[in-house]
Amino acid sequence: MARLSAAHNQQPGYPPSALQRRLPQVVIYLTLIGFCIIAIYPMLMMILNSFKSNQEILVNPAGLPRVWTLSSYQEIFSNHTGLWQNYLISLTVAGITTVGSVFLSALAAFSFAKLNFRGKNLIFAALLATMMVPLELNIPGLYILFAELGLLNTIGALILPKLTPIIGLFMIRQYMLTIPDALIESARIDGAGYLTIFWRIMLPVSAPILGACAILQFITSWNDYLWPSIVILRQDLQPLMIVLPRLTDETGFQKVWGTIMAGSTLATIPIMLVFIRYQEAFMSSMTVGSVKE
C-alpha cells in the first residue's frame, strides 16, 4: 500500500480544464475592453452632447439627448459666430505646416544622412540640443522677432515657427540611414543629381516615416494653443482651438457647452482622416530598426 501511495503521489496532476486554460485570455480581453471603454467614453459624451441644446446640457450632461437637435452645429456655421472661418484657418495652417515641415525635414535629413560635408555631426548634435530647450523659453525671443518683422496677427506667425521641427529631422534621418548607399551610387552613375535622387528615390522609399511625421506634425499644429493665443489677438484670425474654449452666450458669463461640443466634434474629424490616411505608414515606421539583419 505504501508503494501504491508513493506511486500515486508521483503521478502528474489532472490536466487543466478548458475554463482554466482560457481564464488568462478572458482576463486580458476584459481588461482591454475596460480600457477601451475608458478611452471612448469622453469622446462618446462629446458627440452626444453636441446634439443637445445648451440648456439641456446643464440638466442632462451625461445621458442621451432628450431632444435631438442640430442647433449647436448651426451655430458653428452661422455668420454671426464666424466659427467656420476659424475652422478654415485651422485647416489652412495645419495643412501648410504639415506639408512644408515634412518636405523641409526630409530635405535636411537627406543631407545629414547621405551627404558628407565638414562639421556635419557637430551641426546635427547642436540641432538635437535645441530639443532640450523648453518651448516657453523660446517664446519671448520669437515674439520680439515676429513683432519686429510685423508678422503679429498674421497667418505667417502661425506657420513659420513650425516649418522646421527638429524631431521630424531626427526621425527621418534615422530612417534614411537604413537605406542602402548602393541606391544612391547607382543613380549617380546613371547621371542623376542630388535633387533627382532625393525626389525620385529617397522620398518614395521613406514614405512610411514621412507619413508618421505628417501625422505627428498635423496633430501638433492642429492642437497648438499657447503660441497662437499669444501672437494672434484678432478673433477672426485665431485657430478654432483658441476660440472654442472661450465661447459664451450673449451675457458673456455662461459657456455655450452645446456649441463647444459641436465644435470639438468637428475638430476631431481632420485628425481622424489624417490618421486613417497614413495609419499604415505610421504603424510600419514604428517597427523600423526593431529587427537587425
Summarised one tens digit per residue, pLDDT across range 162-177 is 999 999 999 999 999 9
Q: How far apart are CA 218 and CA 207, in angstroms?
A: 16
Averaged pLDDT for residues 124-145:
90
The more confident residue out of 3 and 98 is: 98
pLDDT digits (tens, 9 = 90+) for 232-247: 998 888 998 898 888 8
Q: Which fold has domain 71-285?
A: MetI-like fold (1.10.3720)
In 50-118, which residue ranges form alpha helices assigned H by DSSP?
Answer: 54-59, 71-77, 83-114
Confidence of residue 281 (pLDDT cuts 50, 70, 90): low
Residue-level pLDDT at 23 = 81
Take residue 171 and report the three cell numbers written for it: 526621425
Q: How far apart are CA 281 and CA 275, in angstroms?
A: 10
Question: Given a cut of 70, is residue 285 above it in pLDDT?
Answer: no
Question: Given a cut of 60, is residue 290 above it in pLDDT?
Answer: no
pLDDT digits (tens, 9 = 90+) for 81-130: 678 889 899 999 999 999 999 999 999 999 999 988 898 999 999 999 99
Averaged pLDDT for residues 200-225:
90
Burial of 93 per CB tally in 10 Å (0-12, 13-18, 19+)? buried
Phi–psi pair at 112, nearest 5 degrees: -75, -25
Take residue 290 and report the three cell numbers written for it: 526593431
210 within 8 A of 105, measured Cβ to Cβ: no
Q: Which of 288, 77, 269 is nearest to 177 (CA)?
A: 288
How many CA atoms are closer than 13 Å to the CA of 145, on its beta-carbon side? 9
Q: Which of 85, 100, 99 is nearest to 239 (CA)?
A: 85
Residue-level pLDDT at 163 = 92
The letter for the amino acid at 165 is: P
Q: What is the pTM of this model?
A: 0.81
Question: Given a cut of 70, is residue 292 above it in pLDDT?
Answer: no
> Measuring CA to CA, how many Å separate 97 from each of 78, 90, 145, 186?
28, 10, 19, 34
Q: What is the 3-state secondary structure (H, E, C) of 224-243?
A: CCHHHHHHCCCHHHCCHHHH
160 within 8 A of 151, measured Cβ to Cβ: yes
Confidence of residue 279 (pLDDT cuts 50, 70, 90): confident
Question: Given a cut of 50, is residue 229 above it in pLDDT?
Answer: yes
Minimum mean pLDDT range among 23-27, 157-161, 175-179: 23-27
